[in-house]
Structures are given as structure tokens and as C-alpha cells.
Amino acid sequence: MPRDPYEVLGVARAASESEVKKAFRGLARELHPDVNKHDHQAEEKFKEAAEAYEILSDPERRATYDRYGHEGLRSGGFAPNFDAFASVADIFDAFFGGGAFGGGGFGGRFGARSGPAPGGDVAVRADVDLVAAARGASVEVSYDAIERCDRCQGNGAEPGTPIETCERCGGAGHLQAVTRTPFGQVVRTVECDVCHGDGRIARQPCTQCHGRGRRVVKRELKVDVPAGIADGQRIRISGRGHVGEPGAPPGDLYVLVHVREDERFVRDGDDLVTVLDVPAPAAALGITLTVPGLDGEQEVEVPAGTQPGEVIVLRGEGMPALRRGRTGDLRVVVNVVVPRRLSAEQRELVERLQGTMTPENLRGEESVFQRLRRALRTSA
């Protein structure tokens, strides 16, 4: 049974026509093959979204679905049919026009675009540890990028051999195609399947790039990771992506930074949080202990009478701000450890201590319920 079209597009049942259209356009661009090469199910997902849009964009179909569901559409002769399309790219072009993502291989200079297409962007991941993220670091990244062939200078022909006008498109680089769709007859401009949008054909293809005019190379680059960067943030390096068509700029390189977890800390914004185990007697009497810090061990004064879960703040010992701003703090959460096993002598001492306890000894400045209410108000 097909999914609910409202669920597919992520809109409410009372969504307006413009909201439905906006949702579909956003989803269609998200599922386009040029940005989902890793997802083998992208084409099916796109067709599902197109079917949902076909239902919800037509008032009659939508009313029938709202009343009778998918069974009502089938019995009413509204079954969708996408067989007229050769691929999901054809469906996308029917809605948005050709070249929406600068596709078309290495050619395409004379397609539906008004000018040469810029190069595509490249994404690569860089792993750093928390200390490197705090102090800043340089990391080496490697990635594959498309460059202009240096042998043929991008024209696809073996040096010294002629380049001829494409007979298929007459040098235009594109052809007109008429497609029958669920939304009527659509006339589209498609890339020439012989010259691949260039309008010209090399009589003898370049032996290095096989006539493509481009080649894939392995690049290595040193990237400066700024101090204070967080996991999942990106660094953009202009002009280090795929080469563009002649007269167009290259794409950019995006470095996705992954900050490895540090077993000593949990990061909360620019603050670091750690846990300090304190024996119960020491928490009652007060003690000086050490906790790990980014710059080595840090001393922590645990006041007498410290309760479980209390937080001691070491100012300025956290992560630096990525942009201008104050450095975060190191928050030390006190974990008062109660011994699980006692020797006979220890048990005797604890029993004697318990016998001397009065309500005044146990009464804190704030009850557990008061602390709970304060914490809930703070988080709200």
C-alpha cells in the first residue's frame, strides 16, 4: 500500500496549494541524483514524492483521496504513470527545467543554462581530537577532484588534430524533446547525446582524458582547523572543488570536521563537563583533589558538606569561542561515592557517627525538591 501523500511531503492535511508545492520542490531538490549518488533508493523516493505531489496538487484528486484513500483514486481512474520518463532526472527536468544542478557531464556549454556552469563542490571529512579542536590544528585531507586535462587543454582532442561541428545537434549542443507526462505535454531542452552539450566533436580524442577534456586527480591539502570548532561544523575553502566549464569558476571544498569523543569530558557548547568521584567522608570534611583539564591536571577545592551532584565551576578552563567571545568553563560534577563494603572497624565507626547525627547536621541550604524545581525552571 502506498504511503500517505501528506506524510511523504511532510505537510498538514490542511496545507495550502502553495505549501504543498513548496514542500515538493524542496524534497525534489533534496532527492535529486546529483546530490544523492550515495543513495541507491533516491530515484524511488523521488518518484514517491512526485506521485504524492500529483495527488495533492490537483483539487479533484486530493478530494477523492481525502474521502476514499488510494483505493478511491484507483477506482476513479487516477492511477499515476511515470513510464513516460526515462529516469528520475527526466522527472526533475520536467518540473524544474534542465541543468538545475549543473549536470550534463563535462560538456553542457550550450544547454538550457545562460552561461558556463561553475564547478561542483567537494566534501571531505577530517577527524580531530578534542584538544586539537580546542587549540587549533592543521590536518591533511585527500580527495578526488575533476581538473582540466593538461594535454588537450580541455578541448578533448589530441593535440594537433581537428575538432568538428557535431552533426547530431548542428553545433547547438542541445536537442528538443517532447514528453507526455501526468501533467500534460512537456517540451524540454536536453543535452545532445553525441557531443554531450559541447556542440563539437574531436576527430581524434585525447589519449590522456579519452576526449572528455577533464580528468580525475587525487588532491592532498593541508587545512587549518580553527580553535573552538565543534563537531559537525564545516570549513569552506573557495576554489578547491571541481573545475568549472571554460569561463566559469571552480567549485569549493567543504571540510566536515568530526571531533572525536574524549573520555574525560562531555562538551556543552564552549563548556566542558567532567565528573569527580569524592568519598563520602571527604565530601563531609572537605578536600582538595585534581581533575583532568585541557592543559593538564587542575586542582579543585571540594568544600566541607558538598552534596552529590553539586557543580564546581573552574572559570575559563573550557573551550575557546570559535569567534570572539569568552572562553568556556570547566564544570566539575561531584559524585559522592558511598562505600559498598565495610570492614568491622569501619562499620563500627560509621555506626558511632550515625548515632551522633541530628536533623541540623543533615539539613541543607536547599531541599531536594527545591533543587529539582530550580533545575526544571532553568531547563524550561
What DSSP assignment string belongs to 39-68? -TTHHHHHHHHHHHHHHHTSHHHHHHHHHH
- CA proximity to 99, closest of 118, 122, 123: 118
Least confident of 111-115, 261-265, 333-337: 111-115
Q: Which of 169, 226, 223 is nearest to 195 (CA)?
A: 169
Residue among 260, 254, 60, 271 nearest 145 (CA): 254
pLDDT digits (tens, 9 = 90+) for 128-140: 999 999 999 999 9
Cell 580541455 appears where? 154
Of 324 and 272, which is predicted with more confidence?
Answer: 272
Q: In this predicted model, what pLDDT tens digit does every residue of 79-122 receive, in sequence order? A: 555 544 444 555 555 554 444 444 433 333 333 445 677 888 99
CA-closest candidate to residue 253, choices 143, 119, 141, 123? 123
Query: pTM for this structure?
Result: 0.58
Distance between start and end Cα atoms, the chain: 42
Cα–Cα distance between 287 and 301 in angstroms, integer? 6
Give yes or no for a contact between 57 and 9, defined as CB atoms under 8 angstroms apart: no
Nearest to 24 by CA among 75, 66, 58: 58
